[in-house]
Structure 1
Amino acid sequence: MRVYSLNVAPRPQLLIKALEKLDSLTLRGPVEVGDEVMNGVRRLCIDYVKRREASVEALIRITYAVEAGKCWSDVYLFTLSPRGSTVVVLVKRISGMGRTDPDFVIDELLRVLASEEARGCEP
């Protein structure tokens, strides 16, 4: 399990909106394959987003594919919990061998949250 602390507004509706915007996100570029770096694609699929009493849960599938024909995926459960002026994110791998890296999901989530806050989007 990985734990992240995000310095963002802890508004559940904004978190849900940002997670939904990540659905079907496709990023082309370098992908690490063992000790090599190859051209490939990373794709996010948000299987579900649910608001709980004190958190927001998202089941996220990360799929990698590279030009050499290799592909793999992992499924992670992201639990985002407001804590004061921050959001604590717990990331637990549900299935797969852990060959994908959920760090880039956090980076993309922060990018979307910053964009939404800059636009003044309210819950």
Structure 2
Amino acid sequence: MERDEKKIEELIDKLMSADTLEKPSIEFTDKVMSKVEAVSNSTITEYKPLISKPIWFIIAGGFIALVAYIYLMEPATNSSWLDRIDLSNVSNPLEQISFNFSTSLMYAVVFLAIMFSIQVPLLKHYFNKRMTF
């Protein structure tokens, strides 16, 4: 076993001594520096929000105008503003649906919720610890 290792080591030594080190071309440093400069001169993407400030002002103004319209156009009474909104025509589509869950499904959902509530803080701590280094 030792003979084989010695022979392999001698063979590697012969190959390494026969092979010479490669030398970079004369313009190697210039080429590398030109690529570094090209990367450093690239433009930085500027942050632009999806919804600009004027659009937010328009949305807020529209909401305020809607609330003012509802509040001012109803006749003044002594009742609260929630009583002014007529919700008698609104129906709940979920009233007709009934859910019957098996006990095993309920146990599975509870177990999933418990495991999720345990794993999220552990993973958050792990990634925060990893980011500090």
What is the TM-score with the length of structure 2 in the denominator?
0.18
- Structure richer in helix, relative to its length: 2
Higher relative contact order, chain-length normalized (CA < 8 Å, sep 6+): 1
